[in-house]
Structure 1
Amino acid sequence: MSDLLYHWERWVTFLMPPLLHSGFFTGLQMGQGLWRVARNQQLQQEGYSEQGYLTREQSRRMAASNISNTSHRKQVQGGIDIYHLLKARKSKEQEGFINLEMLPPELSFTILSYLNATDLCLASCVWQDLANDELLWQGLCKSTWGHCSIYNKNPPLGFSFRKLYMQLDEGSLTFNANPDEGVNYFMSKGILDDSPKEIAKFIFCTRTLNWKKLRIYLDERRDVLDDLVTLHNFRNQFLPNALREFFRHIHAPEERGEYLETLITKFSHRFCACNPDLMRELGLSPDAVYVLCYSLILLSIDLTSPHVKNKMSKREFIRNTRRAAQNISEDFVGHLYDNIYLIGHVAA
């Protein structure tokens, strides 16, 4: 017996403080309290108690007592009232979706403006008047296709922005399969005018066109390419950053050739036209910018390609570039190298 008492004292001495500190018994008491609450509520619904049947008056008294002690149980036990939790969950399930027609119109339109075309069509099955509003579909059209000739015209009889969205989407899919047929589709529907400038604006403000098909189209339509280049504004931009923006809209070909030379030539003249003061300060001409652009493209390939083991150093780049364009300052060429080294390829 003395051995049992000895071991019991050691258990109390070494195990009780950590359990009390960890909240073990507090959690156990809370669990027991929650079980009692759930059990009592179950017994109330069934009309039983642990001792046997309850009369209707006893059940009513027990229910009233539980309701009056709800706040006290929460404060004392720190637990969750399971009954109210389930009741709140059930009420939320019964509420369902919010009826947008019961909200102020400006709030309803703001909520629907976050939907894409597919979801807006689905919403029109429930809220037909709201989801078919012309302002919502006009916003969808202009956010995807920023410029169309039809935007600046008086709409014809029976015009609908929802119908226009479907036509623009159909025309974009047609363009991505065959660029010429896509442009002809837009013109046949009155969406675009037969003008290189209007086509260039449409391409410049649209991001749904396949860049490979677009490159083929611009290679064939140099008149559209000329107007597309003039839409770029490179004022006060660093040369590598301006070249990245240019190739983001007009993708460079995968191989060197006549088309790449044409793109760089047009970019060089446009960059000089946008920055006349800088060109005079640095003593650069369109031909010098042309040389720098080619140097930046070759440097980008050298620094980013995993097949090139011996990367070009900054000193080598400065020496090679100044050999091709002698009037360029060494500091300016060094900044060009740092930009490519830190940011990456100019035609990625």
Structure 2
Amino acid sequence: MGQVLWRIARNQQFQQEYSEQGYLPRECGRRTAAAADNVNHHRQGQGGIDIYQLLKARKSKEEQGFIDLEMLPPELSITILSYLNATDLCLASCVWQDLGKDEYLWQGQCKSTWGHCSIYNRRLPSEFSYRKLYMQLDEGSLTFNGNPNEGIEYFMSKGILNDHPEEVAKFIFYTRTLNWKMLRIYLDERRDVLDELVTLHNFSNQFLPNALREFFRHIHAPEERGEYLETLITKFSHRFCACNPALVREVGLSPDAVNVLCYSLILLSIDLSSPHVKNKMSKREFIRNTRRAAQNISEDFVGHLYDNIYLIGHVAAS
């Protein structure tokens, strides 16, 4: 019944528009309008809603255009603008100057992109501007992506970061705008920052391949095997065991065993994902090869590792 009423109302609207423009005889338009009025009158008698009136109201609202945000309560206007990114917010400030420059909005822009900065925890002066801070953070990130050391020095010179490995590690951990290649170069040089960055990861109750993927999403693995990759896997192995003491007891894991399993997972990932390898490693072969290096690990556990790589993919994909 609702669909029928809607179609009649729409037909009445079309008939009126077309009759006004001379496309339909007036008599035909009057008959259609009369039928629609009867249905609407019957619908209103039953306590329903006049669909035709709703359509007219909707059309009149569409003709009025967008609502002026300055006419709304400030809390509602700020909430609407909070869904914009920084570029769109700057454009909005050209129309709604006071709303577009609101400090609350720019504070959200800063913290959504750069989750941790030392300056967030300080008592800020009354003339402090989060909009200006956003510009500085953006400038510093671009500088970092060109030269990591200069980028960090820029943040420190502006008072955005404290000169402490833990603060720098938190900034890196909660920021997603830094180029991963430059980040890899910086962490290879700053092992003190790397140590703090590893401790920020929580691998509790995570399956080993999934934890390794999360680790390499924040700290990208080098393209070739070398001393830096060995350092990363060693640090990951100790952190994984520290976060999962129950698993260490039940499965018999140790940092050395996790170290061996990590290399096995990386090699298996390359074997299964590389188009140049025609004869892929089977599950039986993986279990046999891994058990030779880590004898205390059960075959079932190693088999689950193989299944995870086979179904989900590479543990160190960029």
User: Take 1:156 and 1:36, find their aligned partners in 2: how far apart are those partners?
Assistant: 65
Give me the identity figure in percent: 81
Is residue 247 of structure 2 the alignment partner of residue 264 of structure 1?
Answer: no
Q: Quick one: which amino acid aligns to residue 345 of structure 1?
A: H
CA apart distance, 1:125 = 1.4
| Contact kept? 2:287, 2:299, Cα under 8 Å | yes
Is residue 76 of structure 2 the alignment partner of residue 107 of structure 1?
Answer: yes
Aligned match of 1:313: 282
Aligned match of 2:34: 72
Aligned residue for 2:94, secondary structure, equals coil
Aligned residue for 2:194, secondary structure, equals helix
Within the candidate set 141, 148, 158, 1:189 is matched to: 158
Between structure 1 and structure 2, the one with the greater Rg is 1
Within the candidate set 122, 135, 146, 1:166 is matched to: 135
Within the candidate set 221, 235, 245, 2:204 is matched to: 235
- Which structure 1 segments of 5+ residues have no match? 1-30, 44-49, 51-61, 78-83
Q: Quick one: which amino acid aligns to residue 111 of structure 1?
A: I
Within the candidate set 214, 227, 240, 1:245 is matched to: 214
Q: Quick one: which amino acid aligns to residue 250 of structure 2?
A: E
- Residues 37 and 118 from structure 1, CA distance in 2 versus in 1: closer, same or farther, beyond 3 angstroms? closer
Instruction: Kindly provide the CA deviation profile for residues 56-88 of structure 1, in whole angstroms up to 9, marking residues without a partner as x.
Output: xxxxxx9xxx88x774154699xxxxxx9xx98
Aligned residue for 1:194, secondary structure, equals coil
CA apart distance, 1:34 = 9.5
User: Take 2:161 and 2:119, find their aligned partners in 1: how far apart are those partners?
Assistant: 7
* Root mean square deviation, CA, Å: 2.9
- Residues 42 and 330 from structure 1, CA distance in 2 versus in 1: closer, same or farther, beyond 3 angstroms? closer
CA apart distance, 1:39 = 6.9
Instruction: Kindly provide the CA deviation profile for residues 187-237 of structure 1, in whole angstroms up to 9, marking residues without a partner as x.
Output: 000000001110000000000000011001101111100000000011111
Which runs of 4 or more aligned residues in structure 1 lie more than 6 Å from their structure 2 counterparts after TM superposition?
33-36, 87-90
Q: TM-score normalized by structure 2? A: 0.84
Within the candidate set 176, 198, 210, 2:145 is matched to: 176
Aligned match of 1:282: 251
| Contact kept? 2:93, 2:99, Cα under 8 Å | yes
Matches within 5 A, 1:29-48: 41-42=20-21
Instruction: Kindly provide the CA deviation profile for residues 280-313 of structure 1, in whole angstroms up to 9, marking residues without a partner as x.
Output: 2222211111000000000001111111110101
Is residue 184 of structure 2 the alignment partner of residue 215 of structure 1?
Answer: yes
Q: Quick one: which amino acid aligns to residue 292 of structure 1?
A: L
User: Take 1:90 and 1:115, find their aligned partners in 2: how far apart are those partners?
Assistant: 27
User: Take 1:35 and 1:273, find their aligned partners in 2: how far apart are those partners?
Assistant: 72
- Residues 225 and 35 from structure 1, CA distance in 2 versus in 1: closer, same or farther, beyond 3 angstroms? closer
- Residues 72 and 144 from structure 1, CA distance in 2 versus in 1: closer, same or farther, beyond 3 angstroms? same
| Contact kept? 2:15, 2:32, Cα under 8 Å | no
* Count, aligned residues: 293
User: Take 1:144 and 1:125, find their aligned partners in 2: how far apart are those partners?
Assistant: 23
Is residue 317 of structure 2 the alignment partner of residue 345 of structure 1?
Answer: no
User: Take 1:347 and 1:73, find their aligned partners in 2: how far apart are those partners?
Assistant: 69
- Residues 74 and 221 from structure 1, CA distance in 2 versus in 1: closer, same or farther, beyond 3 angstroms? same
Q: TM-score normalized by structure 1? A: 0.77
| Contact kept? 2:103, 2:131, Cα under 8 Å | yes
Instruction: Kindly provide the CA deviation profile for residues 150-186 of structure 1, in whole angstroms up to 9, marking residues without a partner as x.
Output: 0000113521111101100110011011111100110
User: Take 1:109 and 1:37, find their aligned partners in 2: how far apart are those partners?
Assistant: 41
User: Take 1:305 and 1:191, find their aligned partners in 2: how far apart are those partners?
Assistant: 43
- Residues 90 and 175 from structure 1, CA distance in 2 versus in 1: closer, same or farther, beyond 3 angstroms? same
Aligned match of 1:131: 100
- Which structure 2 segments of 5+ residues have no match? 1-10, 40-52
